[in-house]
């Protein structure tokens, strides 16, 4: 009997932000989105961090929209002069920006009509035909056009937006993982690992050296969609490591 493997949907995250590229800001969005997508069975296949330059945004969004099932962007949807994501995305798909009535109503409710100045209204200028992503933190919404989910760059706002879209994303089988760590260096383990990897081609075994308390160690991560296969591979790996007679540390 032959089993057909269905590949999970593939996605790309585009971080739009000079502040990451200059080293001013430590990125906190990649890991949150990566883990969130992993949970629902969507593979994060690539991340790009790009500057606030219109043409770069256009080129990157267009090529990623074609290459991946889902594209997520963070950053550049605020009211200031350097917030150019919405306009660039409109341009990328030759779609006009238009004042989104629902977004305007949300902003009016949040700020009050008297404080809804031109700058803030810019946050309601969204490519025609987009759907909104609601923002419970600071009101101004993100939006969805084609297969692209445009979110804020501030981590707490992005996280709330991502939680709001998670329900509509269609994932494949969830990738499960089991991790085991030992204070042995990769060089001691490599041959045995290769053998186990060769026995389990549908499990991805990752080997990650670490330094903790000035000691070198290796974390081994098994990843697979099939729980039985994962458990079998992990069992073999654990047996292999027990052979070294050193302390092992297991985690889900």
| Coil, strand or helix at 184 | coil
Alpha-carbon span 180 to 48, nearest angstrom: 30
Token code pair at residue 1: 């009997």
Alpha-carbon span 50 to 247, nearest angstrom: 43
Binder of a copy of itself out of 16, 44, 148, 150 (CB under 8 A): 44
Provide the mask over 146-185, with x wherever binding to a copy of itself is found by CB under 8 A and - wherever it is not. --------x-x------------------x-x-x------
Token code pair at residue 33: 């989105």
Alpha-carbon span 89 to 99, nearest angstrom: 15
Distance of closest approach, residue 76 Cβ to a copy of itself, in angstroms: 10
Token code pair at residue 70: 């889902």
Binder of a copy of itself out of 63, 95, 147, 197 (CB under 8 A): 197
User: Binding of a copy of itself at residue 213 (CB under 8 A)?
Assistant: no
* Minimum CB distance to a copy of itself smaller for 95 or for 184: 184
CA atoms within 13 A on the CB side of 11: 27
Distance of closest approach, residue 133 Cβ to a copy of itself, in angstroms: 17
Closest CA to 42 of 7, 6, 9: 9
**DSSP secondary structure of 72-137:** EEES--SSSTT--HHHHHHHHTT--EEE-HHHHHHHHHHH-GGG--HHHHGGGEEETTPEEEEETT
Within 53-112, the residues that bind a copy of itself by CB under 8 A are 56, 78-83, 111
* Minimum CB distance to a copy of itself smaller for 46 or for 98: 46
Candidates 124-132, 143-151, 165-173, 210-218 — which segment interacts with a copy of itself by CB under 8 A?
Answer: 210-218
Closest CA to 100 of 72, 69, 121, 85: 121
Binder of a copy of itself out of 40, 46, 146, 174 (CB under 8 A): 46
Candidates 50-58, 92-100, 233-241, 242-250 — which segment interacts with a copy of itself by CB under 8 A?
Answer: 50-58
Distance of closest approach, residue 34 Cβ to a copy of itself, in angstroms: 3
Closest CA to 180 of 131, 221, 228, 137: 221
* Minimum CB distance to a copy of itself smaller for 18 or for 95: 18
* Minimum CB distance to a copy of itself smaller for 92 or for 122: 122
Distance of closest approach, residue 101 Cβ to a copy of itself, in angstroms: 19
User: Binding of a copy of itself at residue 41 (CB under 8 A)?
Assistant: no
User: Binding of a copy of itself at residue 136 (CB under 8 A)?
Assistant: no
* Minimum CB distance to a copy of itself smaller for 10 or for 95: 10
């Amino acid at each position: 009997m032959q089993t057909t493997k269905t590949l999970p949907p593939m996605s790309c995250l585009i971080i739009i932000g000079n502040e990451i590229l200059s080293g001013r800001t430590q990125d906190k969005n990649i890991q949150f989105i990566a883990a969130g997508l992993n949970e629902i069975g969507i593979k994060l296949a690539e991340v790009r961090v790009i500057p606030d330059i219109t043409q770069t945004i256009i080129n990157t969004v267009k090529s990623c929209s074609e290459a991946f099932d889902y594209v997520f962007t963070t950053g550049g949807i605020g009211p200031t002069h350097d917030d150019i994501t919405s306009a660039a995305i409109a341009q990328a798909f030759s779609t006009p920006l238009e004042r989104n009535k629902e977004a305007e109503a949300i902003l009016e409710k949040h700020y009050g009509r008297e404080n809804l100045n031109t700058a803030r209204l810019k946050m309601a200028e969204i490519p025609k035909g987009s759907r909104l992503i609601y923002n419970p933190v600071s009101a101004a919404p993100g939006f969805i056009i084609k297969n692209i989910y445009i979110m804020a760059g501030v981590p707490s706002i992005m996280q709330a937006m991502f939680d709001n879209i998670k329900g509509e994303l269609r994932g494949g089988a969830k990738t499960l993982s089991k991790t085991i760590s030992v204070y042995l260096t990769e060089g001691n383990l490599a041959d045995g690992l290769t053998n186990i990897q060769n026995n389990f081609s549908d499990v991805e075994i990752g080997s990650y050296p670490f330094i903790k308390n000035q000691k070198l160690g290796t974390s081994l991560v098994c990843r697979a969609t099939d729980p039985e296969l994962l458990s079998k591979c992990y069992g073999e790996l654990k047996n292999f490591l027990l052979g070294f007679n050193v302390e092992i540390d297991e985690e889900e």
